[in-house]
Amino acid sequence: MSINDLKYVLNEVQGNSSYPLFSREEAEKAVSFHKSIPGYKPTPLAHLGKLAEYWGLKDFYVKDESYRFGLNAFKVLGGSYAVAKLLCERLDVDIADVDFDYLTSPEVHEKLGDITFITATDGNHGRGIAWAAEKLKQNAVIYMPKGAAAARVKSIEAHGATCHVTDLNYDDAVRLACEEAEKNGWYMVQDTAWEGYVDIPTWIMQGYMTMPYEAVEQLGDVKPTHVFLQAGVGAMAGAVLAFMSEVYGDEAPITAVVEPHSAACLYESAKAGDGKPHTVGGDLDTIMAGLACGEPNPIGWDILKKSARAFISCEDYLAGNGMRILSCPILGDDRIIAGESGPVGIGVLDLIMNDPNFTTIKEELGLGSDSVILMFNTEGNTDPVNFKEIVWYGKYLKRQ
């Protein structure tokens, strides 16, 4: 193990930051829309008190998004909400006044005609868009970066979408999808933003707020002191952190953003220290496919740079450790099946709490016997071949 397995930048948190686009009211609109979808159920909040004790912490909770609408990841929360908002805009109605039944009705289809949604994805977001298009009896075209896992392609195609695996990295696949959208008059529903493209990614982030909204309700009187959020473009982390700031104000949990070394665009942006988002390029090669993004979402970055305390970049084996730790819990703790992009925060926290090389970050973050940690397992077993390799046969094991 080397000190370079985990690098971090500490960030000065600006107190009293508020994010009107991610207010409680906006979260409630998203929650209410999601509740209208048949089969809606809050995902479980797993409790791992024994693991917290082993680490020397007070308590540990993991919101388990592998249960989200049977789709194995949180992503559909954003895609479904953005598609719904898009239809509402075209229908000139307010999302607060309609529900899923109405939007999927033959009457609406007749009004709007045939629509094609297009996006680029590592898997989870595309599956959410394909699922939403299928429910609306509309079309979806999905572009994937090179090396996309066969199982992830299959689960997108299972919803009737057309899926192209490109030989591009994620960010270039996004550009290609954007060109196709323009050429064909399709709706680009992308989970990241750029100049002139902000409404849909904002709606996607608002849709993600259902996840922390449920978590806060499930926690009741328990107030988390720390949150670890894994990031690709940083939309999920931004949405969660904005909502936490709304709910807890000055007492918002200390937040650490976690990325893989090969795609650590938010870490690099924080390190640059000029307040601007910075890009990383290349293959973005990591087992955490959902986090393999080299260009920060500017909406997410604006929130993270004000409200996140630490930006962490780490080796892939820490995601492997997270998967194994959750899969084989200490007796009495809840068990969680996590895919590669879901549990990297657990691997990171395990390293910080166990390895004296990382005492400084432990102290800087104030991790100790009073700490109550909240994390989000954003993905279940979405690539069963790799899952077995990692969890059963020890691929990406911690190096001694």
Ligand X SMILES: Cc1ncc(COP(=O)(O)O)c(C=O)c1O
Catalytic residue among 59, 122, 171, 333: 122
CB-based burial, 265-292: b 16+ in 10 Å, e otherwise: bbbbbbbeeeeebbebeeebebbbbbbb
CA distance 215 to 117: 30
CB of 352 to ligand X, least distance (A): 20
Residue 98 or 201 having the CB closest to ligand X: 201
- Residue 171 falls in the annotated catalytic set: no
Place of tokens 């689960």: 155
Residue 286 or 378 having the CB closest to ligand X: 378
Q: How many CB atoms lie within 10 A of CB 200?
A: 22
Binding mask 116-145 for ligand X (x = CB under 6 A): ------x-xx--------------------
Residue of 52, 379, 386, 390 that binds ligand X (CB under 6 A): 379
Q: Which stretch binds ligand X (CB under 6 A): 233-241, 306-314, 318-326, 357-365?
A: 233-241
Which amino acid does the sequence have at 191? D
Q: How many CB atoms lie within 10 A of CB 383?
A: 21
Q: Which stretch binds ligand X (CB under 6 A): 25-33, 96-104, 227-235, 243-251?
A: 227-235
Residue closest to ligand X (Cβ): 290
- Residue 75 falls in the annotated catalytic set: yes
Largest CA distance in the chain: 64
Residue of 155, 286, 378, 381 that binds ligand X (CB under 6 A): 378
Binding mask 275-294 for ligand X (x = CB under 6 A): ---------------xx-x-
CB of 234 to ligand X, least distance (A): 5
CB of 99 to ligand X, least distance (A): 26
- The answer to the question of residue 75 lying near ligand X (CB under 6 A) is yes
Residue 340 and residue 390 in contact, taking contact as beta carbons nearer than 8 Å: yes
CB of 205 to ligand X, least distance (A): 8
- The answer to the question of residue 380 lying near ligand X (CB under 6 A) is no
Cα Rg of the chain, angstroms:
20
Binding mask 307-336 for ligand X (x = CB under 6 A): ------------------------------
Residue of 237, 242, 284, 372 that binds ligand X (CB under 6 A): 237
Q: How many residues bind ligand X (CB under 6 A)?
A: 21
Residue 207 or 232 having the CB closest to ligand X: 232
- The answer to the question of residue 73 lying near ligand X (CB under 6 A) is yes
- The answer to the question of residue 236 lying near ligand X (CB under 6 A) is yes
Catalytic residue among 29, 63, 75, 398: 75
CB of 124 to ligand X, least distance (A): 4
Residue 142 and residue 108 in contact, taking contact as beta carbons nearer than 8 Å: no
CB of 387 to ligand X, least distance (A): 13
- The answer to the question of residue 62 lying near ligand X (CB under 6 A) is no
Residue 293 or 349 having the CB closest to ligand X: 293
- The answer to the question of residue 171 lying near ligand X (CB under 6 A) is no
- The answer to the question of residue 152 lying near ligand X (CB under 6 A) is no
Binding residues (CB under 6 A) for ligand X: these are 73, 75, 122, 124-125, 191, 230-237, 290-291, 293, 341-342, 378-379
List, by residue number, the catalytic residues.
75, 122
